[in-house]
Amino acid sequence: MVKKPSDGPAAALKIFSGNAHPALAKEIADVLGTAVGRAHVGRFPDGEVEVKIQENVRGADCFIVQPTSYPANDNLLELLLMVDALRRASAWRITAVLPYFGYGRQDRKAEPRVPISAKLVSNIIRAAGVDRVLTMDLHAGQIQGFFDIPVDHLYANPVLVSYFKKKVAPEEWVVVSPDAGGVERARAFAKRLETGLAIIDKRRLSPNEAAVMHVIGDVRGKKALIIDDLVDTGGTLVKAAQALKDAGAIHVSAAAAHGVLAGPAIDRLNASPVEELVITNSIPLNHKDDRKIKVLSVASLLAEAIQRIHSEQSISEMFI
């Protein structure tokens, strides 16, 4: 990383975006009172990614907003090539802003002869020339340790809690973790909403299919709020909602930081007992049939973190 002279002018803050989520990048830039930097991110006739930064970035503090969501491979490669272009154009610092970190679900060797994809992708991002990563709600907190560069890990909980605070009566609701691995997340949510906590005992049959066993905790006569980090194909969410209904819950809502919503997710959601799914705009919602989905913006959250990084202020103070 090029060192900023201690007695020189402050580096200019610049926001760039690939094709993954330009709307979020613009929203962040608007909050910061700036414009998205000019960059061409297109394709050559044979499908290869073509990148050209179209403004001066020498000595600038550059932030690339690029969730590596679907199409994950294209979005990841766009990020890497934009980083390389900025580095070769003498940017002072390059921060990859990954509202959603793709390939994060394979974070350990859970069975023989499989890759640890999260570690490999973190190595690739570092090798491309990224100086810092700003991300949100990693699938597993230990992924921060896969990077050999600073990682600022944000949580969407303040945004989600603020929404539910307006509609949740503590004595009527119970927060539910859809599996044992999400208990810490659900407990923190329940504490802030001052509700009870329940856990669903789940046995996974395959990577995209889960069989719900039983509900641990009292949900009878309660309104249940399922909390998870992401909703992918919706299999876990739908089975969890049905288990809660069978256990006597009178209403089921769900909230997640990331709405991947792949494959049959929307059809499953619409046919399920879930009455509302609240997600953030960390990933663009490209489905037209979204009558059960509420999208909350994390632009202000990310913009504040970017401003704090740029001005060398604490990120942890955002969550005190």
310/106 Cα distance (integer angstroms)? 31
Contacts of 144 (CB under 8 A, 6+ apart): 138, 151, 153
Q: Are 38 and 55 in contact (CB under 8 A)?
A: yes
**Cis previous bond, 71, omega within 30:** yes
3-state secondary structure of 45: coil
Write down the H helix ranges in the chain: 22-32, 72-88, 117-128, 157-165, 183-193, 235-246, 265-270, 299-310
73/76 Cα distance (integer angstroms)? 5
Instruction: For 266-294, give one letter per residue: b (16+ CB within 10 A) or e.
Output: bebbeebbbebbbbbbbbbeeeeebebbe
Active site residue 202: yes
Out of 4, 52, 119, 202, the active site residue is 202
Q: What are phi and psi of 141, to 5 degrees?
A: -60, -30
Listing from the earlier edge strand, what are the strands of the sheet with 13-17? 13-17, 61-65, 93-98, 132-136, 151-154
Q: Which of 97, 99, 85 is nearest to 129 (CA)?
A: 85
26/37 Cα distance (integer angstroms)? 10
User: Catalytic residue numbers?
Assistant: 202
